[in-house]
Chain A
Amino acid sequence: MGVRLEVLTKNSLNFDVNDDFVTRRAINVYNIDDDTLSAEDLKLIQQILEDPLVEQTSIDHPVLDMLSKISNPELYHMIDVKPRPGVTDSWGDKAKEVIERVIGREIGGVSHSRQYVYKGNLDDEQMWGVKKKLANEISFLFEVKKGSEWNDEEGAGFHFPKYPAQDPHPFEYVDLGDTDDRLIEISHKRMLGLSLDEMKSIRELFTHDEYEKFREDRVAKGMEANKITDAELEDLAQSWSDHCKHKKFNARWEYTTDDQNDRSGIEPVTDSIFKTFIKGSTERIKERIKEKGDWIVSVFDDNAGVIRLTWDKLAEKVYNVATKVETHNHPSGVEPFGGANTGVGGVIRDPTCTGIGMEPVSLQEGYRVGELDNTIDHKTGFLRAWELLDGMIKGVIDYGNKIGIPTRIGTLFYNNGWIKPGMFAGCTAVAPAEINGRLTHEKKVEEDYIAITVGGGVGRDGIHGATASSKELSAEDDIDDLGQTVQIGDPIEEKKVLDVMKILRDAGLIEASQDCGAGGWNSAVGELAELCNGAVMDLTNAPIKYKGLMSWEKLVSEAQERVVLVIKPENYDKVMEICNHYKVNADKIANFNKTGYYEVKDQDKTAVFLPMKFRTQGLPEMTIKAHWTPPEEKIINIISTEDLKDDLLNLIGTPNLQSYHSIRKRYDRQVQGGSIIDCMVGLGEGKSDAVMYKPILSESEVLIECHGSNPWQGDIDGYEMGRNNVVDAIGKIIAVGGDLRRIAFNDNTITPKPEDDPHIAAKVIRMIKGAADATEYFNTPMISGKDSTSMEVHMGDDKIIKSKPELLMSAVGVMPNDSTKVTSDYKIGGDLIYVVGETKDELGGSELFNMKDHDGTNIPTSDFDEIKGNYKSVINATQKGLIHSAQYLSRGGLFEALANGAIGGDLGFNIKLDSIIEDSTDAENLDPLKVLTSESTGRFLVTVHRSQQEAFEKAMGNTYHKEIGLVSDYTNSFIHHKDEVIFQANSDELKEARKGKIDTNNLREWVA
């Protein structure tokens, strides 16, 4: 037995509520697993755990020592929420650390839980709803007692989570047998996610003549020649998972098309769309821009692509920048807080573990969930959209704010295809290009170099993350199985690791860095071993969270906040001294060699012994068949509208377009001090589609970041969507003052399974080709990317729900300084309003069509030459200082931008539509509603001071531009057409409409 301390916020109990919480703040409970604490110790412990001004503490006696005596005790429900065994309990761990410091000796474990009291008559269904408001049962255990069952003396009682501690049992042999069924059974039972072809290829290791020498070497290691170990199976399952190998993008793609005029230019066979389109286009760009100075430093062979930040070639200090966006689905679908939390923690470690290490400067997010009013029956096991969104937002806030990296930008889309939610998490990092003459973007792994693991120990948490994320989610997935793959992050632990990494790097002590993401040590050490051609890892003394782990569990555990660093043997003592100094755990875990084998030992026995070549190249190639049938053309000549004003105001407040300042204001966007253009701009806090910031305060260079993504277009044609996404992102960069000289992309794919459906496959290959064509045209290379291609769910009864095929093009632009910055808010009444770029009847996939449930197919098509002209003219005018405000027209079109400028500037607009309708080559198909909401690409809304009209017109040259009206200095806005006022609204109406219906601070209202 130990001690239970309960800390209550004074005056926080309100017994007068009905159907609500009596506890306005949770009671913090500390269970200390130690029975040697004296009264003096407990007094010291109380002092450190409570804030005496606002809290009171009770020791081994419930704070709630009145629940049973209260009238109607059966109305009161005490709910204790505690982490499941093995789930990160940072709060408890920190309490233990500080208690030990206070009383000056080591104590047993400390577990932290939260206690609530709810008042109300609850049936099981309602109780489920109340629990949902508190925590996710995947990670937490609930103990519920009614007031009538409550003992005022005992309370909830002492509780400490215990792990099952079996005898260590490092590994066992598995007989692969000689039938296909046996192979399938093994893969399925062990959740390996390996196909029959892949399993067959593994069996060849033990049967094929080619591997005779391997089997001899294996025997020499004391292993069985003809049987594989469970650890080896897990190793191959992890290193061959789609998550790690991108086997779908690297597959052989066979493409057929029904489109007579297919303009995608896709060949009948493409060997790897990654190598052919993504890498291929980037390599051609790299070749082309060489003469002008190669700013592409390193692409596709590390955790993140690296480009040059510094512009001045003669600069004393030259810096690089790396960026990476991750797509996530699996953990967020079952534990949105933990999934998003570790998603952020994981993506931070990608650019920071590029080369010998970089420093994180910016985060971005993207949430994709079902529509909030879609109430899935919770008995299916799926979480509802509000719950997913609420958890994911909180997960990002928690991690980003605590680790001190600003979450600057993001996007939020709703569609019932995302019942299994999608999540994007991105991170940008910087580093000096050289430290002591050594290039920082290069990893060096040579014979006898040592791998150390820095950060926490491993546990069962996170096991099978790499394989589970490549599996579709199904209603039958057992909670206990999934629980193993879910974890909660500890941002402070990660910050400790990154801080010490920077100190080691700057001291010249690191030769390579690698994050432990999916696949844990196995993938980190395995990938590093490829740079040397062999490694021996020893798990015997590797740090663990608790006993009873098998070798394979230690190997592939995805316990968070760990990195592997490669160091020279002669630096080992110094590195350990520094890590110890900062109280960061560091342990030697592997040595590199050139044997050509990957070996893992545990308890003095060899648990894994596999040829390096087989691990990296033994994976059989997959074939994916794609067949393109263009959608039947559907033209919507006249969009039905009862009230133009209602339609327009509703449009800017749809869930996809409304303002989400309530989310953004909970991200610490100003930490690190470098923000230049925030995601909210102007007196009235308008939106900015792109952000600008200084990644290094002492340098002049700025970065611009934004997203280009149109998943609704993807339903109609992936190829055009791929092109448009690139064009949009570039346009957004230019609108805030960027130019075309140095823009790079991350391509991030979230789609249903292409291998099961040739039509989906066609959309996937077409969107990648479209993006590649566009990036190549604009010389804006893709430098990293990520794909999640299992975005579908089985809802029982053979119903499969598939997500929209999405390709999020996340752009980063580098500018030498911030002198050209422009924001979207209108600046002065009387300024002239221009539209740059031609508007056509291109509403397919638009937000207006989405709002009205129209299925017209006329999606925007981008004419690169024309758009490049628009871009160059706007850049020209911006660099001459002629533009007061600018917005790229994307989702929501012209009206969205007109309203946003007015809201941001606390001003109005007064415009005429006649010229942009009449002068369009598409005039006969356009009407006011269409022209205000079309999503034709490559267009801008800009405002210009009257006195600069001539200069502006000159700067625009032959580019399509139309003056459509004025910024009004009072707050009424008007739209005219054919001498009639067709729209009129004051700024309060615009602002109210923009707020939309969703308040992300109160998502729990959707619990019903």
Chain B
Amino acid sequence: MSCIRPRAMILRADGTNCDKETMFGLEQAGAEVDIVHIESWRKHRDPIMDKEISLSNYQIFVLAGGFSDGDYISAGQTIAYALKTEFKDEIEEFIAAQKLAIGICNGFQIMVKSGLLPTGKIGEQQSVTLTHNQQERFEAYSVSLRKPANGVDKCVWTAGIHNPDFYIAHGEGRFYTDQETKQQLYDNGQVVFQYADEEGNPSNQQPYSPNGSTIAAICDPTGRILGMMPHPERSLSGRNNHLNTLQDILRRDYVDSSAPEVKARLNLINQKETPWVGLQLLKNGVEHARQHLM
């Protein structure tokens, strides 16, 4: 096995604020990561590292969460514009080389506004959007996700991940498109995650869906480009899960797992996926890059 680590470039714009934990997660997942400010990409050099910056040096392109440029006009709009104009050629070349991309939260917003999702083509006419949450306010809590029934599991990032709990934190996350496009996304297996209620059924209702839409994540037709509102980089270890102390205690040797009161508790939390599933998601991408792109 090769020891060479796949390389990931996290794009940082003014207001990007999840870049460091995304970097930490990708490093844990086995990648070598650079955070590149958009101005450094523009000028193809970084004033400190003093090295040439080009997307072609990387196998994974990451658009991290935050409020790029303050999201003043609409979320992700200004960076999306930059991607589809100034950086169009580089991104086209990157995608043609069958490389991977992930957009998380604000990154997902940038992807749909630049056309990168759902078509996989930068600069394509925008066909879906992520707009203001139905209740018109920023929401931050953990949600349960599911994969669509009868879906084709084509996204390389989410292979083997079925019912994860993830944290969301956004004000503009309501997935919106026309009926026809939505149907096509389902038919093509491009809907990666839906918000799920307690029974595991898809839901667009609060609190299961934080924004009024059912769709939480989509990918391009190849499954290599993923955009998602939830934050996998916030669930790298189980320690921040609000049920983690309960899980720990139930696993202690003095706790009899066959006792009815313990069984009842285990039933409640065993429906949940292993909590470090966020790391698994990043590992899937890094592993794919290692096997197919190195």
Contact = CB atoms under 8 A, between A and B. Distances in A.
Given A94-B73, A503-B48, A685-B242, A969 B264 contact: yes
A666 B137 contact: yes
Given A94-B70, A884-B249, A665 B243 contact: no
Contacts, number: 185
Interface stretch (B87-95, B153-161, B217-225, B228-236): B228-236
A492 B246 contact: no
Interface stretch (A306-314, A395-403, A548-556): A395-403
Interface string B56-91: 000000000111011011100110011000000000
A404 interface: yes
A667 interface: yes
Contacts of B78: 48, 94, 98, 101
A678 B139 CA distance: 15
B167 interface: yes
A51 B246 contact: no
B176 A53 contact: yes
A828 B265 contact: yes
A672 B20 contact: yes
A401 B128 CA distance: 25
A90 interface: yes
B293 to A, nearest CB: 26
Given A95-B73, A102-B81, A492-B14, A51 B255 contact: no
Contact of A94 (B25, B47, B69): B69
Contacts of B243: 682-683
Nearest to A102: B81
B17 A671 contact: yes
B131 A54 contact: yes
A468 interface: no
Contact of A945 (B20, B74, B254): B254
Interface stretch (A575-583, A857-865, A923-931): A575-583
A431 to B, nearest CB: 14
Interface string A559-579: 000000000000000000110
Contacts of A801: none
B169 interface: yes
Nearest to A884: B249
B268 A683 contact: yes
Interface string B249-271: 11010110001111011001100
A619 interface: no
Interface in A731-786: none
Contacts of A1001: 135, 137
Contacts of B273: none
B242 A682 contact: yes
Residue of A53, A490, A683, A830 most packed against chain B (CB within 10 A) = A53
Contact of B66 (A95, A404, A582): A404
Nearest to A685: B242
Interface in B130-156: 131-132, 135-141
B200 interface: no
Interface in A850-900: 881, 884
B54 interface: no
Residue of B25, B40, B245, B269 most packed against chain A (CB within 10 A) = B245
B143 to A, nearest CB: 12
A577 B234 CA distance: 35
Nearest to A698: B24
B99 interface: no
Contacts of A675: 234, 240
A683 to B, nearest CB: 6
Interface string B114-132: 0000000000001111011
Given A90-B70, A945-B255, A402 B15 contact: yes
A91 interface: yes
Nearest to A662: B137
B187 interface: no
Interface residues on B, range: 35 or more
Contacts of B139: 665-666
Contacts of B242: 678, 680-682, 685
A503 B255 CA distance: 50
A697 B21 contact: yes
Interface string A211-242: 00000000000000000000000000000000
A281 to B, nearest CB: 35
A4 interface: no
A25 interface: yes
Residue of A828, A830, A1001 most packed against chain B (CB within 10 A) = A828
A91 B73 contact: yes
Contact of A676 (B132, B231, B240, B246): B240
A207 interface: no
A402 B78 CA distance: 16
Contacts of A108: none
B7 interface: no
A492 B78 CA distance: 14
Contacts of A506: 48
A668 B169 contact: yes
Residue of A499, A668, A881 most packed against chain B (CB within 10 A) = A668
A491 B140 CA distance: 19
A583 to B, nearest CB: 6
B18 interface: yes
Contacts of A94: 69-70, 72-73, 78
Contact of B265 (A673, A698, A827, A947): A827
B155 to A, nearest CB: 23
A52 B126 contact: yes
Contacts of A667: 140
Nearest to A678: B242
A493 to B, nearest CB: 8
Contacts of B73: 48-49, 91, 94-95, 98
A672 B73 CA distance: 25
B18 A404 contact: yes
A947 B21 contact: no
Nearest to B210: A665
Contacts of B176: 53-54
B18 A671 contact: yes
A825 interface: yes
Contacts of B98: none
A-B residue pairs, 6 tightest by C-beta: A404-B17, A673-B21, A829-B261, A492-B70, A969-B261, A94-B72
Given A670-B167, A683-B246, A906-B268, 10 more contacts: A53-B177, A95-B73, A98-B69, A666-B138, A668-B140, A697-B24, A825-B245, A830-B259, A881-B252, A945-B252
23 contacts: A54-B131, A91-B70, A91-B72, A94-B78, A101-B82, A402-B15, A402-B67, A402-B70, A404-B17, A404-B18, A404-B66, A404-B67, A492-B14, A581-B43, A671-B65, A671-B169, A672-B20, A673-B18, A676-B240, A822-B245, A827-B245, A828-B249, A945-B255
Interface of A: 25, 48-49, 51-55, 90-91, 94-95, 97-98, 101-102, 112, 397, 401-404, 490-492, 495-496, 499, 503, 506-507, 577-578, 581-583, 665-676, 678, 680-683, 685, 697-698, 818, 821-823, 825, 827-830, 881, 884, 905-906, 945, 947-948, 969, 1001
